[in-house]
Each structure stands twice: as C-alpha cells, then as structure tokens.
C-alpha cells in the first residue's frame, strides 16, 4: 500500500533540503516529497510550507508555480506546518519589500521589529536586528508542544515579526527586548517563526509531533 504523501512546498526557498532531511529522520510513515506541483499538493495528506527568503520572492515563487490555490485549499482541512517566512505568508499582508499582499489565511500583518521595539530598548539592551540565533519560546497549550519543555530554545533568523489581528491564535511568544508572537496556530494550521529543522532535539521533536498530529 502506498504511503500517504507529506509535501514540502518548493517555491525556490533556500532551506528545503534541511527540512526534508529533518522530517525524514523523524518518520517513515510518509512518502516525503519536495514538490512544486499543484497536483501533488492536492494529493498530499500533510503540507509543510518552509521559508528562507524575502516575502516578495516567496509570493512570486508560489504564484509562478500556481501553488496559491492548492495551498489555500490545504489550509482549510489538512495538517499544515509553516516555518519562518511561512507563517508570515499566511497573514494578510507584509510590510517587507514596500508592502506585499500575502495568502490571507490568518488576519494580520508581518511588521518590522523597528515598529515594535523602541530605539531606546534597542540601544539599552544591545538588540541586533535581524534577530538571528537561539531564543526561548514561551508556550501556550498546543498538541505540537508535546514533550517539549517550556522555555526551550529554538533557532531564529528574521527581521519581521507576526502581528495577528487576534491574539487567540498566538501559541508561542519570544522576547527580543519586548515580547512578540513567535508561533501562531488555529485548527489544522501551525506556524512557527523559528526553524525547527535547525533547532536541535526540540525542533526535531516538534517535527515528529507534526507527523503524528491529528487536528
């Protein structure tokens, strides 16, 4: 019997292979595929939308490959994991690249840290933007945190932060001078600003949890 497909969306992002290797290390229950095929996304049982690029390039890559509609359909009812720029793309709009309309699954915007963190705090706490490196996540209840200790460190690389219209979908926060939303989730969709595939054992555990998740 053929294994169910776990599709990793390929729109030209840079960290696809590392996500693939990390997922493959955590499960043999799925036919894990890197794909830019709308048909494969329609067939897949689970979807990962990774990211490591500017939002304009992300949206242009998805559009050029006709992946927007299959993604929107998947977000309605399939377990979906969005990584780094992935959850930013799920919002309505991003301020990056002079403003880009995004997928709009969640109401909200991606905004530059300069809008959130005052120059005084940046200077006093010697905060560097982009936010690069290990930082802690304060968890709110969600199945994908199972077995992951509270305040675990994950690896971040970003200059823009998630600003959802509703705080109800925030299931993880991180401090960079001030608290910001680092993880959003609702129903079958989970979006992490950090890179689980670069986050050692806690990141791998989150990916394992995703392969087992029954939202």
Catalytic position from the list 58, 80, 158, 197 = 197
Report residue 44 as tokens.
């897949």
195 catalytic per annotation: yes
Which secondary structure element, helix H or strand E, spans residue 183, and what is its range?
strand 178-186
With contact defined as beta carbons under 8 Å apart, do 55 and 102 qualify? yes
> What is the C-alpha to C-alpha distance for residues 13 and 84, in angstroms, rounded to an integer?
11
Which among 105, 131, 158, 195 is annotated as catalytic? 195
| Cis peptide preceding 47, ω within 30 of 0 | no
Which of these is catalytic: 58, 80, 84, 96? 84
**Of 133, 137, 148, which is closest to residue 205 (Cα–Cα)?**
148
Helix (H/G/I), strand (E/B), else coil: 167: helix
Q: Which residues are catalytic?
A: 84, 195, 197
């Amino acid at each position: 019997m053929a294994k169910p497909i776990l599709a990793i969306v390929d729109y030209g992002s840079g960290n696809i292979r590392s996500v693939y290797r990390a997922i493959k290390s955590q499960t043999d229950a799925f036919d894990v595929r890197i794909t830019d095929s709308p048909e494969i996304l329609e067939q897949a049982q689970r979807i990962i939308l990774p990211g490591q690029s500017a939002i304009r390039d992300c949206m242009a890559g998805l559009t050029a490959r006709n992946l927007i509609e299959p993604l929107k359909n998947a977000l309605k009812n399939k377990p979906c994991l969005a990584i780094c720029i992935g959850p930013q793309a799920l919002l309505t709009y991003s301020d990056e690249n002079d403003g880009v309309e995004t997928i709009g699954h969640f109401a909200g915007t991606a905004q530059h840290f300069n809008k959130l963190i005052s120059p005084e705090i940046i200077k006093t706490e010697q905060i560097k933007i982009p936010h690069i490196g290990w930082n802690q996540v304060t968890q709110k209840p969600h199945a994908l945190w199972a077995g992951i200790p509270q305040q675990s460190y994950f690896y971040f690389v970003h200059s823009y932060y998630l600003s959802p219209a509703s705080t109800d979908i925030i299931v993880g926060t991180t401090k960079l001078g001030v608290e910001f939303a680092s993880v959003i989730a609702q129903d079958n969709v989970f979006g992490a600003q950090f890179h689980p595939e670069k986050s050692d054992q806690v990141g791998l555990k989150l990916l394992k949890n995703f392969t087992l998740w029954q939202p």
